[in-house]
Amino acid sequence: DIRQDLSNNGRLAYILVACGLHTKILHNSTTLFGHITSYAGDENLFPENHSTVQYLSKDLDQWADTTAPKALADVFEALVGAVFLDSGNSLQTVWDVFEPLLRNYIDRSIVCPNLNPVRWISENGGKVTDEFPEITDDGPMTVCVVQMSNGTVFEGRGTNKNKAKFDACRKAMKQSVDQQT
């Protein structure tokens, strides 16, 4: 679970943007540019008056999984690979470069791993009871309904079935974990 948490695409994308490295990506896709601009411009995630250190100290459990374009995480992984190859396959150099960026997440993941909500729901007796399309002002969405073993129902929304399911499971897991603490 810790490895899965630390290699989470949302977390890697967040770190890339927090360090301003998303501005160095060369591409020729207006769609990708729009997604990256929308994500990096989210004031909830990246308030303009914060420094990189403040971004990297932030608890982003609620944001880590759902909003980031996967291309950002792919670029982060490519940077790790490039440092590894350029350093003559030195894992120590990779660690020296990336450990400061990952330290807060490593510490937090050891104490409280950010479990995958879909997996957590499945392991705790929850199930998807319904999925259906919905037209909103923002365009077509999918709604997913998850029911826990105690009968509690949670709705999630997303631009596709997987995102809607993830959103519903995240809400259910968050409430269940909050009630236990």
Q: What's the mean pLDDT in 64-70?
A: 73
99 pLDDT above the threshold of 90: yes
Instruction: Work out the average pLDDT over 96-105.
Output: 90
Q: What is the C-alpha to C-alpha distance for residues 147 and 116, in angstroms, rounded to an integer?
A: 17
Q: How far apart are the first and last CA of the chain?
A: 20
pLDDT surpassing 90 at residue 77:
yes
What is the set of domains in the chain, with CATH numbers?
A: 2-111 (no CATH), 117-180 (3.30.160.20)
Residues in the chain: 181
Instruction: Give Cα separations from 149 to 47, 145, 180 (angstroms).
Output: 39, 13, 16
Cα(36)–Cα(45) distance, integer angstroms:
13
**Residue 63 reports pLDDT greater than 60:** no
Q: What is the DSSP letter of 160?
A: S
Phi first, then psi: give them for residue 71, nearest 5 degrees: -60, -30
What's the average model confidence in pLDDT over 51-80? Answer: 80
Instruction: Identify whether the C-beta of residue 172 lies closer than 8 Å to the C-beta of residue 159.
Output: no
Q: Name the packing angle between helices 9-18 and 91-111 (round to 10°).
A: 110
- How many Cβ atoms sit within 10 Å of the Cβ of residue 8? 20
pTM of the model: 0.66
Q: What is the pLDDT of residue 62?
A: 53
Confidence category of residue 105, pLDDT binned at 50, 70, 90: confident
DSSP classification of residue 46: S
